[in-house]
Amino acid sequence: MKVTIKHIAELAGVSIATVSKVINHKDEKITHQTRDRVLEVIKEQGYIPNRVASSMVTKRTKTLGLMIPDITNPFFPELARGVEDGANEMGYTLILCNSDNDLQKEESYLEMLQEKMVDGIIFTASSRRTTMSSAFLKLTIPVVSVDREIEGLKLEGKITVDNEKGAFEAVCYLLEKGYRKIYHISGPLLSKTAKDRYAGFIRAHKEKGIMPIEDHLLEGNYTSTWGYDYTKKLIEEHVDFDSLFCGNDLIALGAYKALHEKNIRIPEDIGIIGFDDIYMAEIVSPGLTTVRQPSYSMGYKAAEMMLDRIKNKDGIQKEWVLESKLIIRGSTK
Amino acid sequence: MKVTIKHIAELAGVSIATVSKVINHKDEKITHQTRDRVLEVIKEQGYIPNRVASSMVTKRTKTLGLMIPDITNPFFPELARGVEDGANEMGYTLILCNSDNDLQKEESYLEMLQEKMVDGIIFTASSRRTTMSSAFLKLTIPVVSVDREIEGLKLEGKITVDNEKGAFEAVCYLLEKGYRKIYHISGPLLSKTAKDRYAGFIRAHKEKGIMPIEDHLLEGNYTSTWGYDYTKKLIEEHVDFDSLFCGNDLIALGAYKALHEKNIRIPEDIGIIGFDDIYMAEIVSPGLTTVRQPSYSMGYKAAEMMLDRIKNKDGIQKEWVLESKLIIRGSTK
DNA sequence: TATACTTAGTTAAACGTTTACTCAGATAGA
DNA sequence: TCTATCTGAGTAAACGTTTAACTAAGTATA
pLDDT at A314: 65
Task: Name which of B52, B112, B254 is nearest A116 (Cβ-Cβ).
Answer: B52
pLDDT at B44 exceeding the cut of 80: yes
pLDDT at B313: 64
B273-288 pLDDT, tens digit each: 999 999 999 999 999 9
Q: What percent of chain B is modeled with pLDDT above 90?
A: 84
Query: Which has the closest alpha carbon to A243: A211, A265, A204, A270?
Result: A270
Separation between the CA of A126 and the C1’ of D20 (whole angstroms): 46
Q: Return the number of CB contacts < 8 Å for A and B.
A: 125
A78 to chain B: which residues are within 8 Å by CB? Answer: 72
Residues 45-74 of A with CB under 7 A from strand D: 56-57
Residues 31-60 of A with CB under 7 A from strand C: 47, 49-50, 53-54, 56-58
B258-311 pLDDT, tens digit each: 999 999 999 999 999 999 999 999 999 999 999 999 999 999 999 999 999 998
More confident residue, A157 or A213: A157
The mean pLDDT value for B160-173 works out to: 97
pLDDT at A315 exceeding the cut of 60: no
- Give CA–CA dist B103/B121, Å, rounded: 16
CB neighbours of residue B151 within 10 Å: 12
Q: Residue B24: which nucleotide is closest by CA–C1'?
A: D18
Residues 54-93 of B with CB under 7 A from strand D: 54, 56-58
pLDDT at B315 exceeding the cut of 60: no
Q: What is the mean pLDDT of chain A?
A: 93
The confidence band for A110, taking pLDDT boundaries of 50, 70 and 90, is: very high
The mean pLDDT value for A6-18 works out to: 95
Strand D within 7 A of A32 CB: no
pLDDT at B245: 98
pLDDT at A15 exceeding the cut of 70: yes
CA distance B309 to chain A (A): 20
Task: Name which of A94, A116, A254 is nearest B51 (Cβ-Cβ).
Answer: A116
pLDDT at A224: 95
Task: Name which of B72, B84, B114 is nearest A96 (Cβ-Cβ).
Answer: B84
CB B259 within 8 A of CB B232: no
Q: What percent of chain B is modeled with pLDDT above 70?
A: 97
Residue type at A119?
A: D
Between the alpha carbon of residue A326 and those of residues A71, A167, A170, A272, A299, the distances in Å are 25, 9, 6, 13, 20
CA distance A207 to chain B (A): 35
Q: Do B98 and A114 touch (CB under 8 A)?
A: no
By CA distance, what is A46's nearest residue in B? B138
CB A152 within 8 A of CB A213: no
Q: Select the residue from B60, B94, B106, B285 to test the A interface by mutation, using most A Cβ atoms within 10 A.
A: B285
- The alpha carbon torsion through B188, B190, B191, B195 (nearest 10 deg) reads 80
Separation between the CA of B56 and the C1’ of D21 (whole angstroms): 21
pLDDT at A317: 64
The confidence band for A212, taking pLDDT boundaries of 50, 70 and 90, is: confident
The confidence band for B29, taking pLDDT boundaries of 50, 70 and 90, is: confident
The mean pLDDT value for A316-327 works out to: 90
Q: What percent of chain A is modeled with pLDDT above 70?
A: 97
CA distance B186 to chain A (A): 19
Q: Do A52 and B256 touch (CB under 8 A)?
A: no
pLDDT at B36 exceeding the cut of 60: yes
Q: Residue B283: which residues within 8 A CB-CB, separation 6 or more?
A: A224, A228, A253, A254, A256, A257
pLDDT at A120 exceeding the cut of 70: yes
Q: Residue B48: which residues within 8 A CB-CB, separation 6 or more?
A: A111, A114, A115, B3
DSSP states along B202-258:
HHHHHHTT----GGGEEE--SSHHHHHHHHHHHHHTT---SEEEESSHHHHHHHHHH
The region, left, alpha or beta by phi > 0 then psi within -120 to 50, assigned to residue A238 is left
Residue type at A13?
A: G
For nucleotide C18, the protein residue with its alpha carbon nearest to C1' is A57
Could you give the strand order of the β-sheet that contains B325-327, starting from the edge strand earlier in sequence?
B217-219, B182-186, B243-246, B271-276, B289-292, B325-327
CB A93 within 8 A of CB A62: yes
End-to-end CA distance of chain B: 70
Query: Which has the closest alpha carbon to B119: B66, B78, B44, B75?
Result: B66
Task: Name which of A72, A115, A257 is nearest B78 (Cβ-Cβ).
Answer: A72
pLDDT at A240 exceeding the cut of 70: yes
pLDDT at B216: 93
B188-240 pLDDT, tens digit each: 998 889 999 999 999 999 999 998 888 899 999 999 999 999 999 999 999 99
Q: Select the residue from B58, B72, B90, B226 to test the A interface by mutation, using most A Cβ atoms within 10 A.
A: B72
pLDDT at A155 exceeding the cut of 90: no
Q: Select the residue from A89, A97, A285 to test the B interface by mutation, using most B Cβ atoms within 10 A.
A: A285
The confidence band for B317, taking pLDDT boundaries of 50, 70 and 90, is: low
Any idea what the Cα angle at residue B61 is, between residues B11 and A48, rounded to 5°? 120
Q: Do A48 and B261 touch (CB under 8 A)?
A: no
Q: Do A71 and B71 touch (CB under 8 A)?
A: yes
pLDDT at B152 exceeding the cut of 90: no
pLDDT at A185: 97
CB A291 within 8 A of CB A169: yes
Q: What is the mean pLDDT of chain B?
A: 93
Q: Do A51 and B116 touch (CB under 8 A)?
A: yes
pLDDT at B190: 87
Length of chain B: 333
A156-166 pLDDT, tens digit each: 999 999 999 99
Q: B49 φ, ψ to 5°? A: -60, 145
Separation between the CA of B58 and the C1’ of C3 (whole angstroms): 39
pLDDT at B257 exceeding the cut of 90: yes
Task: Name which of A50, A93, A114 is nearest B112 (Cβ-Cβ).
Answer: A93
